Structure 1
Amino acid sequence: MNTRLDTPDATLMHPDERAARLQLAACYRVFAMLGWTEMIYNHITVRLPDSVTGGQKQFLINPFGLHYTEVTASNLLKIDLEGNVLDGGAFPVNPAGFTVHAAIHDNLPDAHCVMHTHTTAGVAVACLQGGLQQTNFYTAQLHGMVAYHDFEGITIHADEGPRLLKSIDGKPAVILRNHGLLAWGQTLPQTFAILWTLQRACEIQMATFSMGQAIPIGEDVAQRCTRDALQFNPNHGAGRDVFDALVRQVDRIDDSYKN
């Protein structure tokens, strides 16, 4: 499958799958544009809707071996919960990547999308004894939303799944200690908004701590900030406007992700 997804040759594909592929491929290019890449590693996964799968749990993931700038709508792999490739892709799946994603997708009903990064700021805060501290504009919008999971090594062992889920406890912004950042949400744009806010909070914290002691934000103020922040709320677009703006930037640079 290497035809452009907006051509007649692709009309046999369910339109909901076509839309999911285009959005996810665009997201990989957005990550690349933002510098959220780690060679050929890390993943963004999306569960295909029941209209496509008939109720089976099937997912789209990047082929292992490609840089994010090489991911396209047609080379995304369709896989099941065990990571088996269902669409005959030419590239394999990275088992260390999907183990964590599978546990979340399978057990959290609202986890339509899962994103994981190893950005410098994210890993740095994940390695910090105190983790993310409530000291800036972005952390104040994540009050009560951040979970922590202790480092257990490379994530290739399925038995870590239940412990990860217990650590997450329904919170969508996850700091994997000594490892990196993770977010999940009901839609890809919502998940992106959560991860972007978490990433920005880590960047500001890293910059602040390099200069000295930070000013703490009180619990009452943080609670109010999180309540007033609407970018995660499905009733207010849940990040769709921001994500679409970034996709438009990608389109101006290189729209080959549509292939």
Structure 2
Amino acid sequence: MNPATAAVRDQVSAEEWQLRQDLAACYRLVALSGWDDLVFTHISVRVPGPEHHFLINPYGLMFEEITASSLVKVDSECRKVIDSPHPVNPAGFVIHSAVHAARPDVQCVLHTHTMAGVAVSAQRDGVLPISQQATFVLASVGYHDYEGVAFRPDEGPRLQADLGRNTFLVLRNHGLLTVGRSVGNAFLSMHTFESACRIQVMAQSGGAPLTAVDPQIIAGTREAMRVQTGGLGGDFVWPALLRRLDRLGHNFRD
């Protein structure tokens, strides 16, 4: 273990260190999936405890560079809790802090600016019921209108209301957001969200009429997901995703 890693690990609990590894892995997987936007967008994790502390990316590092020890621990105002040589982006935390404040059931918030996600977010009808992936999204999705670059705290209450108790949020003209009770859940939800958007854009590009899924099927997708993953959701696939990173030689655990 290198000195920088040891210095951070000695200051945090075993539970937080595990969360740091999972969050660093999530950043690597987002980059590996091609969902990153250079150093922009964020993934945040709530640290257990009454202090309302969070982990977020060191601003300026590519997602493929992020490690467990380089993640920055901040409070609800995005002020550093543990000294770090890395800067943070308070403006980027506005969306995340609003979600975490309204959803104590949520551990991870994942936000992207992918081409397909932004394309669908700009469409008046949003996510269309034209794929199996879309059915999972449509069972728990909200929409938030674009208000410019999200750095004003007063946008928070409107964003909270638009998210509600949903798992998926379309940020109009901006991108996609998912929440999860774990990092694995937020990642699997984003994988489904992004797939639904890519399929939609590809299907529309064909120019042929599209076939919609029966609304009754959409109503049953929550139970279908529970059965498919043995009730574990994203935690079912998360260990396999970590093994993939290990095979590729990613040092996210440092």
TM-score (norm 2): 0.93
Aligned to 1:114, the other structure's residue is in SS state strand
Instruction: Tell me the residue number matched to 2:31.
Output: 32
**1:177-256 alignment, distance < 5 Å:** 177-212=172-207, 213-230=209-226, 236-256=231-251
Query: Which amino acid is the alignment partner of residue 159 of structure 1?
Result: D
Aligned Cα root-mean-square deviation (Å): 2.0
* The 10-residue stretch of structure 1 (35-44 or 139-148) with the greater mean CA deviation from structure 2: 139-148
Aligned counterpart in structure 2 of residue 176 of structure 1, from 167, 171, 180: 171
Indicate how the Cα distance of structure 1 residues 9 and 102 shifts in structure 2: closer, same or farther if over 3 A, else same.
closer
Deviations 1:151-198 (A, max 9, x none): 000000000000101111211100000000001111111111211111
Q: CA deviation at 1:9?
A: 8.7
Residue type of the partner of 2:215? E
Q: What is the rounded CA distance, in whole Å, between the counterparts of 1:124 and 1:43 in structure 2?
A: 19
Maintained 8 Å contact 1:193/1:231: no
2:136 to 141, 165, 169: 141
Q: Aligned partners of 1:2, 1:219: CA distance in 2, in Å?
A: 54
Question: Which one of the candidate residues 110, 114, 120 is aligned to 2:109?
Answer: 114
Find the aligned partners of 1:249 and 1:232 in 2 and give their Cα distance. 21
Q: What SS is found at the alignment partner of 2:88?
A: coil
User: What is the alpha-carbon distance in structure 2 between the residues aligned to residue 24 and residue 176 of structure 1?
Assistant: 22
**Structure 1 residues 187-215: Cα deviation after superposition (integer angstroms, max 9, x where no partner):** 11111121111111101101100012210
Distance of aligned partners of 1:58 and 1:220 in 2 relative to their CA distance in 1, 3 Å threshold: same
Whether the 8 Å CA contact 1:132–1:139 is kept in 2: the answer is yes
Distance 1:61 1:82 in 2: 12
- Structure 1 gaps of 5+ residues are none
1:68 aligned to 2:63? Answer: yes
Aligned-residue offset at 1:42: 0.7
Whole-angstrom CA distance in 2 between matches of 1:217 and 1:22: 38
Question: Unaligned stretches of 5+ in structure 2?
Answer: none
3-state DSSP of counterpart to 1:182: strand
SS of alignment partner, residue 233 of structure 2 = coil
Q: How many residues align?
A: 253
Alignment of 1:41-190 (within 5 A): 41-50=40-49, 55-190=50-185
Deviation at 1:144, TM superposition (A): 2.9
Task: Tell me which amino acid in the other structure corresponds to 1:255.
Answer: H
Please report how far the alpha carbon of residue 257 of structure 1 lies from its aligned counterpart in structure 2 after TM superposition. 1.4
Distance in 2, matches of 1:228 and 1:39, equals 35
Task: Tell me the secondary structure at the aligned position of residue 230 of structure 1.
Answer: helix
Paired amino acid for 2:222: T
Counterparts of 2:56 and 2:76 in 1: how far apart (Å)?
A: 12
Find the aligned partners of 1:16 and 1:240 in 2 and give their Cα distance: 16
User: Structure 2: how far apart are the matches of 1:258 and 1:117?
Assistant: 23
Structure-2 change in CA distance of 1:160 and 1:194 (3 Å): same
Q: 1:3 to 1:214 in 2, by over 3 A?
A: farther
The answer to whether the Cα contact below 8 Å between 2:117 and 2:176 also exists between their aligned partners in 1 is: yes
Cα deviation 1:58-86 (Å, max 9, x = unaligned): 00000110000111111100000100011
Give % identity: 36
**Structure 1 counterpart of 2:16, one-letter code:** E
Q: Distance in 2 between matches of 1:96 and 1:2?
A: 31
